[in-house]
Amino acid sequence: MAGGFAKDGAVQDQIDATIEDAIKRARCQLPQGESLTNCEECDTVIPTARREAIAGVRLCINCQATVDKKQIASSGYNRRGSKDSQLR
């Protein structure tokens, strides 16, 4: 039940939109094309199993973990705002 000027289900619509945006962003970041044999960053050999499991892989596991940590630190935004802003 939504209150004020918001329609019923507005909060769930916002949650669904946030999840859809995250899925689209993740799919766009998937590697494409042929996998490299050596890492772009450190030139370490990328294991065959990793190249076969992930098409278009360009980084070794260690370099990919570093990139993933940086992306988590700068992840998207919160559309819903804080509860304080909703109470005013």
- pLDDT tens for 28-46 read 878 788 999 999 999 999 9
Count of other CB atoms within 10 angstroms of residue 50: 14
**Tell me, what amino acid is at 80?**
R
Tell whether the model's pLDDT for residue 10 goes beyond 80: yes
pLDDT 10s digits, 41-60: 999 999 999 999 888 999 99
Q: Where are the alpha helices (DSSP H) in the chain?
A: 10-28, 48-53, 61-73, 83-87
pLDDT 10s digits, 16-31: 999 999 999 888 878 7
Q: 45 - beta bridge partners?
A: 38
Length of the chain counted residue by residue: 88
Distance, CA of 85 to CA of 37 (rounded, Å): 51
